[in-house]
Structure 1
Amino acid sequence: MSPVKLLVSALEPSANLHMEPIIKAIGNCELLGIFDEKFGKPLLPSRAFSIMGFVDAIPKIRLAKKTIEKMAQLSLLVDTVILIDSPAFNLPLAKAIKKINPNVKIIYYILPQVWAWKEKRVAKVEKYCDVLASILPFEQQFYNRAKYVGHPLLDEIATCKEKYEATGYIAYLPGSRKSEIKKLMPIYKEVAKKINKNNILVIPPHFNSQEIKEIYGDIREFDISRDTYKTFLKSEFAFVCSGTATLEASLIGVPLVLAYKAKAFDAFIARMFVKLKHVGLANIIFDFEGYDPLHVELLQEKVTVENLMDEYVHMDRKLFYENSLKLHRILKHGSANEMIKLIKI
């Protein structure tokens, strides 16, 4: 049997993480496009687009335009196109592909977060994309053709905590981008000294040893982990930068506090345009379900050693675990099986 040919646009580490169970389940497939090198030989690796915020994006504009032209040409060689998240890149890409290859099926997986901002993107997604694969159950309120396929983390997380228990291990996740890590690490180091337990620092696998020295500085007080899931299972508490990791921790059942510091300009823009009460995915899901937040969020100037310590001391860990089970019930199942059906139709 000839392989399924897919053009993939996965710019973010989380996009590659969520794509992996689908690729494994399909088995016999050939990938073209933008993705992590572990899946094959990409046109460009995902790390070529590693940016954070509006300021960081400016130097990448020329690269993005040239890459969109090349990706559109590659669409002539494949059976299906899968665009994952990253709407600033993937919506212009979808438009370019449909212009030269109108009959190719485009699946948008992990839809633009129009419930946070830029509602006008709904029209563009529905104009240029054939299948809208949603991973959040409330998104059907915003898209006319969205199909909830389940959440990929329920495929990726093999084991969750069966109850809350003190283990003596504390997890620290300062993010996956250089700018956010450099802002959080000095604070995390001070917190680690105060708690004085077994400190585990999770470092994303895409950083090499030289980059680790440059970005993290002196990290002798930490044990190093490259495996987020194993670290969460082992830990009794986690300090986590905003992003997919907050939802991973929530699903696994490790109590956490979200801490996030953006560039001042990015924070200003976000306050102007983003219309959400929360930034953590679990909290956003709970809000749409009418529940109280699952965990505390500390943003910008509120990210201090004192505030992090206060949450560490006072969080109701058993209530957190009960809410973790509730989160599982809301999301229902993983997304890989439904995505395979959509790709092979």
Structure 2
Amino acid sequence: MAENGPTLFLIAGEPSGDALGARLMAAAKRLTGGRVRFVGIGGERMMAEGLVSLFPMAELTLFGIFELLPHLPNLIRRIDQTVAEIIHVRPDAVVGIDSPGFTVRVAKKVRAADPAIPLIHYVAPTVWAWKPKRAAKYAAIYDHLLAVLPFEPPYFEKEGLACTFVGHSVVEGGAGQGDGAGFRLRHGIAATDRIVAVLPGSRKGEVSRLLPDFRATLDLLRPSHPNLIVVVPTVATVRDRVAAAIADWPVRTVMVEGDTEKYDAFAAAEVALAASGTVALELALARLPTVIAYRLNPITVALYRRLIRVKYVNLVNLMRDDMLVPELLQQDCRPDRLAAELGRLLDDSTARQEQIDGVAEVARWLGQGDTPPSERAARTILDVVTEKRANCSQKGEPGTGEQKP
């Protein structure tokens, strides 16, 4: 324990989880007056909050069955290493942050090895979208679940798993507070230039599949939009790959890193072309009209389609139950289709405004304007720890939070 405060073992496996984890850490420090210790696995943001990562988080940033197979031996080794560290540290709680392919496997092994360690999962699995039996699976493993959407808790509570709606911490990131004028000034972009934000994802497979189509899309747009400027916000995990891919793009292209630059780019841009994922929520919070694109290995998609129970991939569309934000996926993810949708948003101010107006309620559903979601998440985790300590004290059992000799 850290000066009588709790020790939390946090596990994030990709940039969106790293952002959740960093905000969670900051909130836990505020709530405990700094009397909290963090160990585990995370990326740059969590490390900036004080985490020393057990190994590079980038090793876990994988997606899709066939994309995963070559890395499977190393993944198994990292699972065993993580479990061994948890058993050694005996934290007051283990908090897996999304990335279920890794975090659930770790949790199952920890549960079998030391049932006294509280297990919490942050970001409920989308059982309402596919594989509903996962609710019972999670109930058999975890002590508590943190949900980011208001309609999720009942799916798990009926299986006997305590589940708390905490809201989506993406609302805390400042996505809607960018400085567009400052961005244009810093990068020498004229007021008459029209900016398209292009976000190809944070996984290597995503950017490899999407960037060639995105380049061809811009080639099609260039003749009718000669004053087009492209801004590509990226992250460290794919920085070099993205930089190499955009070096010969047919329009002036600016690559940026970091939240401040990204959100300023959102404020300066007129439209966005983005891979499906958490960034779609940031774009909604920024009120930036967007076209969503995605492409997976065809065999992976064929397997997933037998399981998926929802009509849309973008959470904005899912929550509204209509296609407000265009989604061009798999065979529809073609340069001509992408260019047509982007061109419509660039040229039709009414279409842009319809999307801007339509995402306002989604922002409220995600928890915007209330207690920060990360604070609600941290408070719930600390409550679980407090309850566990109290139960151990009543039973005269040793608590967690101390390393085994």
Q: Say whether the fold is shared (TM-score over 0.5).
A: yes
1:221-242 deviation digits (Å, cap 9, x = unpaired): 3111114322212211000011
CA drift of 1:267 comes to 1.6
CA distance in 2, matches of 1:4, 1:246: 34
1:133 aligned onto 2:150: no
1:218 aligned onto 2:248: yes
Look up the SS of the partner of 1:147 in the other structure.
strand
CA drift of 1:218 comes to 2.8
Q: What residue is the counterpart of 1:263 in the other structure?
A: 297
AA at the equivalent of 1:61: L
Q: Which has the higher contact order (CA 8 A, sep 6+)?
A: 2
CA drift of 1:37 comes to 4.7
Counterpart selection for 1:311 from 341, 361, 365: 341
1:24-47 deviation digits (Å, cap 9, x = unpaired): 222334332221155132122210
1:191 aligned onto 2:202: no
CA distance in 1, matches of 2:175, 2:246: 29
CA drift of 1:63 comes to 2.6
CA distance in 2, matches of 1:191, 1:22: 38
- Which stretch of structure 1 is more off in the superposition, 323-332 or 241-250? 323-332
Look up the SS of the partner of 1:143 in the other structure.
helix
Q: What residue is the counterpart of 1:232 in the other structure?
A: 266
Percent identical pairs in the alignment equals 26
Indicate conservation of the 8 Å contact 2:276/2:313, yes or no.
Answer: yes
Tell me: CA distance 1:314–1:212, structure 2 relative to 1, closer, same or farther (3 Å).
closer
Indicate conservation of the 8 Å contact 1:6/1:31, yes or no.
Answer: yes
1:300 aligned onto 2:335: no
Superposition TM-score, scaled by structure 2 size: 0.77
1:225-271 deviation digits (Å, cap 9, x = unpaired): 11432221221100001111111111210000001111111121122
AA at the equivalent of 2:379: K
Q: What residue is the counterpart of 1:148 in the other structure?
A: 165
Tell me: CA distance 1:181–1:341, structure 2 relative to 1, closer, same or farther (3 Å).
same
CA distance in 2, matches of 1:115, 1:129: 19
The number of residues matched between the two structures is 338
CA distance in 1, matches of 2:282, 2:96: 22
Q: What residue is the counterpart of 1:110 in the other structure?
A: 123
Counterpart selection for 2:206 from 169, 180, 183: 180
CA distance in 2, matches of 1:31, 1:59: 31
Indicate conservation of the 8 Å contact 1:160/1:253, yes or no.
Answer: no
AA at the equivalent of 2:376: E
Counterpart selection for 2:57 from 46, 62, 65: 46
1:320 aligned onto 2:320: no
1:168 aligned onto 2:189: no
Superposition TM-score, scaled by structure 1 size: 0.90
AA at the equivalent of 2:353: K
CA distance in 1, matches of 2:146, 2:61: 24
1:34 aligned onto 2:41: yes
CA drift of 1:158 comes to 5.5
Q: What residue is the counterpart of 2:83 in the other structure?
A: 72
Tell me: CA distance 1:283–1:35, structure 2 relative to 1, closer, same or farther (3 Å).
same
AA at the equivalent of 2:40: G
Indicate conservation of the 8 Å contact 1:166/1:236, yes or no.
Answer: no
1:97 aligned onto 2:114: no
Paired residues for 1:58-69 under 5 Å: 58-69=69-80
Look up the SS of the partner of 1:83 in the other structure.
strand
CA drift of 1:328 comes to 1.5
Indicate conservation of the 8 Å contact 1:75/1:104, yes or no.
Answer: no
Tell me: CA distance 1:313–1:166, structure 2 relative to 1, closer, same or farther (3 Å).
farther
Look up the SS of the partner of 2:216 in the other structure.
helix
AA at the equivalent of 2:121: Y
CA distance in 2, matches of 1:60, 1:33: 21
- Which stretch of structure 1 is more off in the superposition, 128-137 or 61-70? 61-70
Indicate conservation of the 8 Å contact 2:175/2:285, yes or no.
Answer: no
Q: What residue is the counterpart of 2:137 in the other structure?
A: 124
CA distance in 2, matches of 1:161, 1:286: 25
Indicate conservation of the 8 Å contact 1:25/1:336, yes or no.
Answer: yes
Gaps of 5+ in 2: 180-190, 346-350, 384-405
AA at the equivalent of 1:183: R
CA drift of 1:83 comes to 0.6
- Please give the root-mean-square deviation of Cα atoms over the aligned residues, in Å: 2.3
